[in-house]
A and B are shown apart, each in its own frame.
Chain A
Amino acid sequence: MSRLAAVFAKLEKNGRKALVPYIVAGDPSPALTVPLMHELVRQGADILEIGVPFSDPMAEGPVIQLAHERALANKVTLTMVLELVTEFRKSDQDTPLVLMGYANPIERMGYQVFADRAASAGVDGLLTVDMPPEEAEQPTRILRAAGIDNIFLLAPTSSEDRIKKIVSLASGYLYCVSLNGVTGAGNLDIKAVSEKLASIKRFTDLPITVGFGIKDGVSAAALAPLCEGVVVGSALIERLVATDADKTVEQRAALAAALIAEIRSAIDA
């Protein structure tokens, strides 16, 4: 069984929901990424989504855009992201890791090379924001052969036909975007999300995580009962880089991890 399947099976058995933090690899510094990943797991994260920095992160709001820019200023490449994953895996063989990014860096490396290297580094899933199902058949086949799940986004605007098309290619889990907007937006509508999730569940048994717009324990706890997991990105990164002159990078990382602990207890309550 894949790490992702094992985690979702265990959570279901215990009646719990997945907590999925998102950080960008190499932000705010490459040296901090692996320690931060371990700390997020200690504070209750079940799965980690690791952003692969890109020069043109079209679907991101301002907070995550800046995270991509900082990572690129630190010269973080896809190759380096895979090295960070290898390092993380030295002391954590269980927590699923999903890389999230844009198509071009992967295209440039080549899907086959990426799939082989990612699998041996210990990557479990890939979410390519700008890779809709129409373009994804071949990449999905290559990834699956290497044991990597291709994770797809579903949006409030996805029609039933599209939901069917997407679930036919997806594995691991589905990522449902909670709102029309970019990451970190504030226009979350719980009722609309709940209706969307119900319509998706008519076509698939895959676990569904919900992301975009989850800021704290309250918003996470409101969404968690409707799905199998919640993704927290912008709110986490905001804490990570809060310009608090008297705090060290490590202290800020601890603050960020504390948000994960807060959300953990809110969704478990």
Chain B
Amino acid sequence: MSSKVAKADFSQFPDASGHFGIYGGRFVSETLVFALDELEAAYQRLRKDPDFQAEFDHDLAHYVGRPSPLYHAKRWSTEVGGAQIYLKREDLNHTGAHKVNNTVGQALLAKYMGKKHVIAETGAGQHGVASATVAARLGMSCKVFMGEDDIHRQALNVYRMKLLGAEVISVKSGSKTLKDAMNEAMRYWVTNVEDTFYIIGTAAGPHPYPMLVRDFQSVIGREAREQCLTQNGRLPDALVACVGGGSNAIGLFHPFLDDEDVAMYGVEAGGDGVDTGRHAAPLNDGIPGILHGNRTYLMQDEGGQIIETHSVSAGLDYPGVGPEHSWLKDLGRVNYVAINDDEALAAFRKLTLVEGIMPALESAHAVAYAEKLAKTMSPEQSIVVNLSGRGDKDIHTVATIDGIGIE
């Protein structure tokens, strides 16, 4: 497959104007350009500042609990009967997912920039919880924008955010889900742009967000690369991660992009099936366009309106995707595939029973694809799966599907 791959110096992207090829950029109303310029300048300075990096590393070690283990799922691998499967255990992080790597980084940026107020958007509530968590720790006020429908679906996380001192703002416009929460967070930011820091939860949005979220999440791939070399003496043959906006996936993939022999698979939410149109898989079945400040693959209709997405996992239920993934797709460096709701639910149960590890429904998409992939490979080969989060938040959803009511 490497013959098909266009060569690129991955470390040089995004370019100075925030583009990954034709993707990315900064499609926002004029009022916000000032804030993005300010953020970019601060980040360009701080990413080279040893004090900032030392504080970030310290927080990742002592607050998040890094490095996260790379766990050889032996029983599952044997049962599948193909490649050896390793799980990068982001589920063991404080707050239970990879999201916190990014919120720790962005909250630190906010602190160095002297901002006292942070805002965030959230779908499933994981990024909202991770934002409320770091805001509590740094004594900042935190407002989390969340679609009205999601507030009902994710009541537990709403209460968690409130316990952490955050204000949860119900978004009633549009489809009342994640994309509308992001619109509303942007609107709030436009109005309070001078003193507010917007913590975007995935590797999407206007430049410099896709870059800085990727950089903060790349700790996942750097650790995994080193752990593979120490534990196995060699790099893995394949990487697998789920793709919502794409932050856990780009975090795992990026440090391996130059390793030509490492194949990569980004797994989108296939919902009822990619051919049904009821899914959240823009890289499989979308068209490039402009939403939330960047050019990227989108779920849209003939007239350029964004269409509603469907997935059993709230964290993947987003019509866009980070621009770097769109670019990596077109380059052929990463393969983007889809896993349906049913397959993800089966993988959720399987990993729970076979390894005693309950994955988040988002991560279960990666687990399901890894199983398919492993079967096509030999026992001498290995796969690293990003287990981006734990499944506690999803027990209610799974119980409901099982017809069991738990309160």
Contacts and interface: CB of A to CB of B under 8 A. Distances in A.
Partners in one complex: yes
Contacts of B330: none
Residue of B32, B173, B192, B304 ringed by the most chain A CB atoms within 10 A: B304
Contacts of B173: 62, 65-66, 69
Name the residue in A106, A131, A134, A156 with the highest tally of chain B Cβ atoms < 10 Å from its Cβ: A134
Interface stretch (A2-10, A87-95, A176-184): A176-184
Contact of B305 (A55, A66, A131, A158): A55
B29 A129 contact: yes
A180 B187 CA distance: 10
Interface string B152-192: 00000000000000000000011000011001001100111
B36 to A, nearest CB: 10
B35 interface: yes
Contacts of B31: 153, 155-157, 177, 180-181
Contacts of B191: 180-182, 185, 187
Given A55-B174, A58-B186, A104 B29 contact: no
A268 B32 CA distance: 34
A135 to B, nearest CB: 6
B290 A103 contact: yes
A109 interface: yes
A105 B289 CA distance: 9
Interface in A206-258: none
Contact of B174 (A69, A104, A159, A185): A69
A180 B194 contact: yes
Nearest to B18: A134
Contact of B29 (A79, A135, A153, A159): A153
B293 to A, nearest CB: 7
A154 interface: yes
A54 interface: yes
Contact of A108 (B25, B183, B289, B307): B289
Contacts of B193: 157, 180
B63 interface: no
B70 to A, nearest CB: 39
Interface residues of A, number: 46
Interface in A77-114: 77-79, 102-109
Nearest to B320: A56
A32 interface: no
Secondary structure dominating the interface of B: mixed
Given A129-B29, A132-B30, A182 B190 contact: yes
B187 A182 contact: yes
Interface string B28-58: 1111111100000000000000000000000
Nearest to B172: A62
Contact of A130 (B29, B300, B302): B29
Contacts of A30: none
Contacts of A62: 173
Contacts of A142: none
B328 to A, nearest CB: 21
A135 B27 contact: yes
Which of A56, A60, A72, A109 has the most CB atoms of chain B within a 10 A radius of its CB? A56
A132 to B, nearest CB: 6
A152 interface: yes
A59 B27 contact: no
Interface string A146-185: 0000001111111100100010000000000100111001
Contact of B304 (A58, A78, A131, A180): A78
Given A55-B306, A180-B194, A104 B300 contact: yes
B26 interface: yes
B342 to A, nearest CB: 29
Interface in A123-137: 129-132, 134-135
A51 to B, nearest CB: 14
A105 B34 CA distance: 26
Contact of A158 (B33, B192, B291): B33
Interface centre among A60, A108, A156, A166 (most CB of B within 10 A): A108
B33 A56 contact: no
Contacts of A159: 34
Contact of B33 (A54, A65, A69, A162): A162
B17 interface: yes
B298 interface: yes
A155 B28 CA distance: 12
Most buried by B among A59, A72, A152: A59
- Chain B CB count within 10 A is highest, among A79, A131, A157, A158, for A157
B233 interface: no
The 9 closest A-B pairs by CB, nearest first: A108-B304, A105-B304, A157-B34, A155-B31, A77-B303, A181-B191, A155-B30, A103-B290, A153-B30
Given A106-B304, A155-B31, A155-B34, 14 more contacts: A54-B305, A56-B183, A62-B173, A69-B173, A77-B303, A104-B290, A107-B289, A108-B302, A135-B26, A152-B30, A153-B29, A159-B34, A177-B29, A180-B190
19 contacts: A54-B304, A55-B306, A56-B174, A58-B187, A104-B304, A104-B305, A108-B300, A130-B29, A131-B27, A135-B26, A155-B31, A155-B33, A157-B30, A157-B34, A158-B33, A158-B34, A180-B191, A180-B194, A185-B191
